[in-house]
Amino acid sequence: MNTKMGLLAKKLGMTEYFLEDGTRIPVTVLAAKGNVVTAHRTEERDGYLALQIGFDEQKASRKNKPELGHLKKSEVTPKRVIRELRVEAAELEAHPIGSEIPMSIFEAGTKIDVTGTSKGKGFQGVMKRHNFRGEKASHGQHEVYRHGGSIGCRLTPGRVLPGKKMAGQMGNERVTVQNLEIARVMDEQGVLLVRGPVPGAKNGYVVIRHAIKPPRAKKN
């Protein structure tokens, strides 16, 4: 379980810039300013440790009364998204209720994991969803070009094996990309530039956390 510190962020889109030697750096722009701690989850009361974080301002009229009442307790303005992050006990002390989590918990070069909801692709066939090859186009083939072929054996085992790849819903699921790199922290604009793409559509919300499996430093 990832108990590393993290932030909520909003994906704004992608752009790119160049290094001095001409290398192009493709980056995703994530707005990550304004993460506020809205509640603590403690071992004694809840049985686990977590920080509850709110992100992105929202009109109070768009929130229901239970939500407003919950935020009133911690004296935080209404937020669009509220998530819990399981963290170590030290982080709970470092971030009291109502305090803002600064973007400076990340710096350029930090390895991060980004979790988001991938773009929905709808109900897709096996060729798009699982990269099957389909069937051949000629030699008497008829109307089966994009089929997956046989899905099993005969009397033994007499059933389709669990986990058989078939057509179905593709995308719109929780996806985590590990070991992305922070390219730049732009505090003034309140954005993080992350090298490479992150899951989800523009204006989607993602969770950024310190990488759970950062690559080992190379030995020379």
Partner 1 sequence: MSYSSPTIGSIEQELARKDIPHFRAGDRVKVHALISEGGKERVQIFEGVCIHRSNRGARGSFTVRKVSDGIGVERVWPLQSPRVTKVELVSRGRVRRAKLYYLRERSGNSARIREKIGAYKQEG
Smallest distance, partner 1 to C-beta of residue 175, A: 21
Amino acid at 61: S
Q: Does 12 bind partner 1 (CB under 8 A)?
A: yes
Smallest distance, partner 1 to C-beta of residue 18, A: 5
Candidates 10-18, 104-112, 116-124, 204-212: pick the segment binding partner 1 (CB under 8 A). 10-18
- For the chain, what is the total number of helices (H) and then of strands (E)? 4, 12
Contact (CB, 8 A) for 76 and 56 = no
Which of 92, 126, 191, 207 touches partner 1 by CB under 8 A?
Answer: 191
Judged by beta carbon, residue 15 or residue 99, the one nearer partner 1 is 15
- How many residues does the structure list for the chain? 220
Smallest distance, partner 1 to C-beta of residue 184, A: 9
Q: Tell me the site size for partner 1, rule CB under 8 A.
A: 18
What is the per-residue DSSP string for 78-107? -EEEEEEEE--HHHHHHS-TTPEEPGGGS-
Judged by beta carbon, residue 8 or residue 29, the one nearer partner 1 is 29
**Beta sheet of 100-101, edge-to-edge order:** 79-86, 50-57, 35-41, 100-101
> How many other β-carbons are positioned within 10 Å of the β-carbon of residue 109?
10
Q: Residue 67: helix, strand or coil by DSSP?
A: helix
Q: Report the C-alpha gap between 28 and 200 in whole angstroms.
A: 11
Smallest distance, partner 1 to C-beta of residue 22, A: 4
Candidates 22-30, 58-66, 67-75, 166-174: pick the segment binding partner 1 (CB under 8 A). 22-30
Which of 21, 44, 93, 143 touches partner 1 by CB under 8 A?
Answer: 21
The HSE-up count of residue 214 (CA atoms within 13 Å, CB side) is 13
Strands (DSSP E) found in 19-163: 24-31, 35-41, 50-57, 79-86, 100-101, 111-117, 122-124
Q: Report the C-alpha gap between 194 and 111 in whole angstroms.
A: 10
Q: Contact letters (x/-) for partner 1, 24-63, by CB under 8 A?
A: x----x-x--------------------------------
Smallest distance, partner 1 to C-beta of residue 103, A: 14
Q: Does 187 bind partner 1 (CB under 8 A)?
A: no
Candidates 42-50, 78-86, 124-132, 185-193: pick the segment binding partner 1 (CB under 8 A). 185-193
State the residues that interact with partner 1 by CB under 8 A.
12-13, 15-22, 24, 29, 31, 186, 189, 191, 193, 202
